[in-house]
Amino acid sequence: MRYELYYWPGIQGRGEFVRLALEQAGADYVDVARERGMGAMMKMMEGGGTPPFAPPFLKAGKLVIGQTANILLYLGSRHGLAPKTEAGKLWVHQLQLTITDLVLEIHDTHHPLGPTLYYEDQRAPAKRRTGEFWKERVPKYLGYFEGLLENTGGPCVTGRRLSYVDLSLFQIVEGLRYAFPKRMKAFERDIPGLVDLHDRVAARPNIKAYLSSDRRIPFNEEGIFRRYKELDSQLVI
Amino acid sequence: MRYELYYWPGIQGRGEFVRLALEQAGADYVDVARERGMGAMMKMMEGGGTPPFAPPFLKAGKLVIGQTANILLYLGSRHGLAPKTEAGKLWVHQLQLTITDLVLEIHDTHHPLGPTLYYEDQRAPAKRRTGEFWKERVPKYLGYFEGLLENTGGPCVTGRRLSYVDLSLFQIVEGLRYAFPKRMKAFERDIPGLVDLHDRVAARPNIKAYLSSDRRIPFNEEGIFRRYKELDSQLVI
């Protein structure tokens, strides 16, 4: 079966967590909006029946699955990227939902007044939110995942077997390095397990091939992780 | 089996979406922090192994399940609050994750600079975010669910069978009425299907009994839905 991934064509965004899972699995998929334009995607969102609220969504045969973590829940079972037991499945899904929360907080560093205004219209509150984010939230979230790696002994979050959560944590480290190079450099000494996990994921053959291909869209200032120099200051406002 | 629900004892918050499902199901559960204090809850979050990142979490036998939507995914299958097919399960979970996104946006109306500062320290950005929320986001989210009710013909989101998503949508309508009485009153004429769904859920015997019991914590200004007069103005700043 050839999967169809529907996501905005110009950004990594939330779709990237799905792309990484598809690539690691060596799954056959088409990135619809990139390869065929946005028309088909918009049509599915406007359709009757059970339309998704927003991209990304995945067409798998007759199924259309929306919400990033829900897509990964589905793919994880089919491609060996999640444990087989119910307890294991619920656990990695729980972790992915925690990453979902973190991703929204990352987005809100540059959009504290909401997704409907431009960054340029919210620069002052963005500075304050970013300061709080690095002071309180990054240590809490990344400290939590670092602690899980300590509990299992690693190298993956659940121990020895790779799951989609590990792929997503790679993307979190990669994205924070892009968006906040100075802050992240200083912070990385506190999360050696996550940095090691990041490096191991990056070195996996399928991921390595993907990252150097043109299927990997470069980071830019339209996505979740944006590099705005004024937000990467070490000074908390 | 007696479930143990772990959540902050003084608020409805995210725990309420779980409480409503447990109550509708007539499940045997103990609201641990309310009945036995916070000690047990904090201990589980600090534990080794697979600790939850944050409340709510549910102990079901040996399983400990975190993240609201993940708990509902688990309960839905066991208590007839979700479809039995894989496609149906993924669909209602997808809808619940969309509600999760909405809940965070509701929270951010009074906490645009993040959860670590007091409301009193972010009143001006809260006004702007709330204005955008009611102008752009409420119509988008509630319009989406209203459209689904039109597609299925109702009275529930998936048609005739009640699911945990319907219980959560009841809570969204109830909460928005509490937090923004003026704005919501004006908006409700656009969402007759959701108002009807709300009323039907409220009239169900188990829910009705729950709402009039002291197990239902009253809304207050510590939870997701907070009534701040200055945010309920019809003027968009």
Q: Where in chain B is the domain with CATH 1.20.1050.10?
A: 86-204
Q: Residue B58 and residue B149: Cα distance in Å, rounded?
A: 30
Q: Is the dihedral of CA B152, B155, B157, B159 positive or negative?
A: negative
**Under a CB-based contact definition with an 8 Å cutoff, are residues B22 and B233 in contact?**
no
Q: Parallel, antiparallel, or unpaired for β B3-6 and B57-60?
A: antiparallel
Residue A180 phi/psi, 5° resolution?
-130, 65
Q: Residue A197 class from Cβ within 10 Å (0-12 exposed, 13-18 middle, 19+ buried)?
A: buried
Nearest chain B residue to A140, by CA: B53
**Under a CB-based contact definition with an 8 Å cutoff, are residues B169 and B176 in contact?**
no
Classify domain A3-78 at the CATH superfamily level.
Glutaredoxin (3.40.30.10)
Q: Does A136 touch chain B (CB under 8 A)?
A: yes
Q: Does B146 touch chain A (CB under 8 A)?
A: no
Residue A6 phi/psi, 5° resolution?
-115, 120
Q: Are the beta carbons of A65 and B144 separated by less than 8 Å?
A: no
Q: Residue B107 and residue B13: Cα distance in Å, rounded?
A: 10
Q: List chain B residues with pLDDT less than 70.
A: 234-237
Q: Which residues contact A170 (CB under 8 A, 6 or more apart)?
A: A20, A197, A198, A201, A202, A207
Q: Which two tokens stand for residue B198?
A: 């709300």
Q: Which one of B109, B116, B224 would you mutate to disrupt binding with A, by most A Cβ within 10 Å of its Cβ?
A: B116
Report the CATH number of the B86-204 domain: 1.20.1050.10
Residue A223 phi/psi, 5° resolution?
-100, -155
Q: What is the pLDDT of residue B49?
A: 87
State which fold the A86-231 domain adopts.
Answer: Glutathione S-transferase Yfyf (Class Pi); Chain A, domain 2 (1.20.1050)
Q: Are the beta carbons of B112 and A114 separated by less than 8 Å?
A: yes
Say how many C-beta atoms besides its own lie within 10 A of residue B23's C-beta: 21
**Under a CB-based contact definition with an 8 Å cutoff, are residues A193 and A142 in contact?**
no
**Under a CB-based contact definition with an 8 Å cutoff, are residues B30 and B180 in contact?**
no
> What does chain B look like in DSSP terms, one character per residue?
--EEEE--TT--TTHHHHHHHHHHHT--EEEHHHHH-SHHHHHHHH-SSS--SSS-EEEETTEEEESHHHHHHHHHHHTT-S-SSHHHHHHHHHHHHHHHHHHHHHHHHH-TT-TTS-GGGSHHHHHHHHHHIIIIIHHHHHHHHHHHHHHH-SSBTTBSS--HHHHHHHHHHHHHHHH-HHHHHHHGGG-HHHHHHHHHHHHSHHHHHHHTSTTSPPP-TTSSS---GGGS-S---
Q: Residue A204 and residue A26: Cα distance in Å, rounded?
A: 12
Q: Where in chain A is the domain with CATH 1.20.1050.10?
A: 86-231
Q: Does B63 touch chain A (CB under 8 A)?
A: yes
Q: What is the pLDDT of residue B235?
A: 57
- pLDDT tens string B96-149: 999 999 999 999 999 999 999 999 999 999 999 999 999 999 999 999 999 999
Q: List chain A residues with pLDDT less than 50.
A: 236-237
Q: Parallel, antiparallel, or unpaired for β A57-60 and B3-6?
A: unpaired
CA distances to A43, A69, A157, B49, B165 from A97, in Å? 28, 6, 14, 18, 17
- Among B132, B64, B60, B141, CA closest to B97: B141
Q: Does A151 touch chain B (CB under 8 A)?
A: yes
Q: Are the beta carbons of B50 and A151 separated by less than 8 Å?
A: yes
- Among B104, B92, B93, B173, CA closest to B133: B104
- pLDDT tens string A107-146: 999 999 999 999 999 999 999 999 999 999 999 999 999 9
CA distances to A70, A173, A198, B67, B68 from B61, in Å? 25, 35, 34, 17, 18
Q: Residue B123 class from Cβ within 10 Å (0-12 exposed, 13-18 middle, 19+ buried)?
A: middle
CB-CB neighbors (< 8 A) of A100 in chain B: 97, 100
- Among B144, B114, B224, B120, CA closest to B180: B224
Q: Å from B90 to nearest chain A CA?
A: 7
Q: Are the beta carbons of A50 and B136 separated by less than 8 Å?
A: no
- Among A98, A26, A168, CA closest to B53: A98
Q: Does A90 touch chain B (CB under 8 A)?
A: yes
Length of chain B: 237
Q: Which one of B44, B53, B117 would you mutate to disrupt binding with A, by most A Cβ within 10 Å of its Cβ?
A: B53
Say how many C-beta atoms besides its own lie within 10 A of residue A196's C-beta: 13
Q: What is the pLDDT of residue A235?
A: 57
Q: Does A205 touch chain B (CB under 8 A)?
A: no
Considering only CB atoms, A74 lies closest to which of B90, B100, B108, namely: B90
- Among A9, A2, A233, A6, CA closest to A127: A233
Q: Which two tokens stand for residue B134?
A: 């009611």
Q: Residue B8 and residue B146: Cα distance in Å, rounded?
A: 31
Q: At what angle do helices B15-25 and B68-78 cross, to 10 degrees?
A: 10
Q: Does B101 touch chain A (CB under 8 A)?
A: yes
Q: Does B123 touch chain A (CB under 8 A)?
A: no
Q: Where in chain A is the domain with CATH 3.40.30.10?
A: 3-78
Q: Does A45 touch chain B (CB under 8 A)?
A: no
Q: What is the pLDDT of residue A237?
A: 45
Q: Does B121 touch chain A (CB under 8 A)?
A: no
